[in-house]
């Protein structure tokens, strides 16, 4: 069995799907690994490191994509500068494992099915304890939560920790984290390590204890409706609940030096939680880091990939935060892929057993069909409209 890893072509993407350490684990199991020349360069893994780990460095793109059994990627395949789509470089029957954004980009699933590619989406790995070490959404979200705090600390005109100096005493910064999922909890932990006083809010009441165990204060709001969907994710709440949330968080936003928003509802636009009015009430010099900027934003006025200044408050809308820490983000992602591949390989061959929950849930396309019901529905809607 041959696994191929190409160089990521998305602008600004510095991660790589496998790092040398994971390559050597695969090659020791008799699996052949081909790495595109320079694939790890932006994450500081050289061709020589991969060769030492037992990989073959491949310069010929057609050979790399066209003669593998399994292709591992970070970002969904896309059209290349030379006009060819990466999916069209794959032979039919190949298994592709990558982030695929199946709900945001169902056309890609359609293209993969047409090419008879078996595609497993890292976004769809079920959040069950058996699959924890394959959970790339979690591993990459922790990187993002950490990075968001560092960005805020660097942009803030104030110290995070309390300082008692000969030049006077400096009070600690007040940080408010909205959304206490994986990224939010990592943001809380990082802000606490930097010495800030941290408050956090989430519509899932179950996170209260986790927030408190990290030394932050949990802002309680009784929404009087079910806020948790299948798999432990948040569900979209009613208009009444949204207004109640906004009222409850307004004072906390106003008094914060830094607000970090991470709230997401899978498959939906990110909920708008921090309004323009709330931003107008913040102190000049305050910072908002909106980690949901690419999904529409939790804060009114944030722009993905840009800094916007409103009345002295800087709204930062970072994109692809994991890529800005490519060594550890790649290391964690590669470990997620390694565990998944090892789970799928039986007697040296990759087998898709749909009786297995992980395979069944993560597989978007197989044998010429889009298997994921919601993605199929989205494609049908597009076909009707088109």
How far is it, in rounded angstroms, from Cα 24 to Cα 47?
Answer: 14
Contact present, 164 and 269 (Cβ < 8 Å): no
What are the residue ranges of helices labelled H in the chain?
A: 20-28, 47-52, 61-66, 106-114, 136-155, 182-193, 208-213, 239-255, 276-281, 326-344, 357-362, 373-385
Q: Which listed residue (21, 114, 133, 233) is catalytic? A: 233
Going from the C-alpha of 285 to that of each of 135, 260, 311, the distances in angstroms are 37, 15, 9
Site mask for ligand NAD (CB under 6 A), range 242-281, x = bound: ---x----------------xxxxx----x-x--------
Q: For residue 69, indicate whether it is catalytic.
A: no
Indicate if 135 belongs to the active site.
yes
Binding flag, residue 221, ligand NAD (CB under 6 A): no
Tokens linked to 253: 């936003």
Which of these ranges, 24-32, 200-208, 333-341, 369-377, lies near ligand NAD under the rule CB under 6 A?
200-208
When asked if residue 104 is in the footprint of ligand NAD (CB under 6 A), the reply is no
127 belongs to the catalytic site: yes
Is 108 or 125 the residue whose CB approaches ligand NAD more closely? 125
Using the rule CB under 6 A, give the single segment among 121-129, 161-169, 305-313, 324-332 that binds ligand NAD: 121-129
Contact between 176 and 252 under an 8 Å Cβ cutoff? The reply is yes
Q: Which residue among 92, 132, 212, 213 is the active-site one?
A: 132
How many Cα atoms occupy the beta-carbon half-sphere of 152 within 13 Å? 32
Pairing of strands 70-72, 95-98: parallel
Residue with smallest beta-carbon separation from ligand NAD: 181
The question of whether 82 is a catalytic residue gets the answer no
**2, 127, 193, 235: which is the annotated catalytic residue?**
127
Phi/psi for 173 (5° steps) reads -70, 150
Nearer to ligand NAD, 55 or 180 (CB): 180
* 234 is an interface residue for ligand NAD by CB under 6 A: yes
Q: Kindly write down the DSSP assignment for every residue of 107-166, as one continuous string.
A: HHHHHHHHTT-EEEEGGGS--SGGGGGG-HHHHHHHHHHHHHHHHHHHH-SS-SS-EEET
| Interaction of residue 132 with ligand NAD, rule CB under 6 A | yes
Per CB under 6 A, the list member of 21, 170, 193, 233 interacting with ligand NAD is 233
**202 scored as a contact of ligand NAD (CB under 6 A):** yes
- Indicate whether 208 belongs to the interface with ligand NAD (CB under 6 A): no
Nearer to ligand NAD, 31 or 185 (CB): 185
Q: Which residues bind ligand NAD (CB under 6 A)?
A: 127-129, 132, 135, 137-138, 141, 178-184, 201-204, 232-234, 237, 245, 262-266, 271, 273
User: Which residues are known to be catalytic?
Assistant: 127, 132, 135, 138, 233
């Amino acid at each position: 069995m041959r696994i191929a890893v190409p160089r990521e072509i998305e602008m600004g993407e510095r991660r790589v799907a496998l790092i040398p350490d994971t390559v050597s684990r695969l090659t020791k199991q008799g699996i052949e690994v081909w790495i595109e020349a320079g694939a790890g360069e932006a994450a500081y893994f050289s061709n020589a490191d991969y060769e030492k780990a037992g990989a073959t460095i491949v310069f010929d793109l057609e050979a790399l994509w066209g003669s593998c059994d399994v292709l591992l990627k970070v970002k969904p395949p896309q059209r290349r500068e030379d006009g060819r789509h990466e999916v069209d470089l794959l032979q039919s029957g190949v298994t592709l494992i990558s982030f695929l954004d199946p709900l945001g980009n169902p056309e890609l699933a359609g293209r993969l099915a047409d090419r008879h590619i078996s595609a497993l989406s890292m976004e769809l790995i079920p959040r069950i304890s058996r699959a924890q070490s394959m959970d790339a959404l979690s591993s990459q979200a922790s990187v993002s939560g950490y990075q968001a705090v560092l960005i805020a600390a660097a942009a803030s005109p104030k110290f995070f920790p309390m300082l008692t100096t000969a030049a006077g005493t400096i009070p600690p910064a007040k940080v408010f984290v909205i959304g206490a999922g994986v990224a939010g909890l990592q943001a809380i932990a990082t802000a606490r390590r930097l010495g800030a006083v941290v408050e956090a809010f989430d519509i899932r009441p179950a996170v209260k204890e986790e927030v408190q165990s990290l030394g932050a204060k949990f802002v309680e709001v009784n929404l009087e409706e079910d806020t948790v969907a299948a798999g432990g994710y948040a569900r979209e709440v009613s208009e009444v609940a949204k207004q109640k949330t906004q009222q409850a968080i307004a004072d906390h936003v106003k008094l914060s030096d830094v607000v970090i928003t991470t709230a997401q509802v899978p498959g939906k636009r990110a909920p708008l939680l921090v309004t323009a009015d709330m931003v107008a009430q913040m102190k000049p010099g305050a910072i908002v880091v909106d980690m949901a900027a690419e999904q529409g934003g939790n804060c009114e006025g944030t722009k993905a990939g840009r800094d916007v200044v409103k009345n002295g408050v800087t709204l930062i809308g970072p994109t692809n935060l994991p890529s800005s820490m490519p060594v550890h983000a790649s290391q964690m992602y590669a470990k997620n892929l390694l565990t998944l591949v090892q789970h799928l390989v039986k007697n040296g061959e990759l087998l898709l057993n749909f009786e297995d929950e992980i395979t069944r849930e993560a597989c978007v396309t197989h044998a010429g069909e889009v298997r994921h019901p919601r993605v199929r529905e989205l494609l049908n809607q597009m076909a009707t409209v088109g």
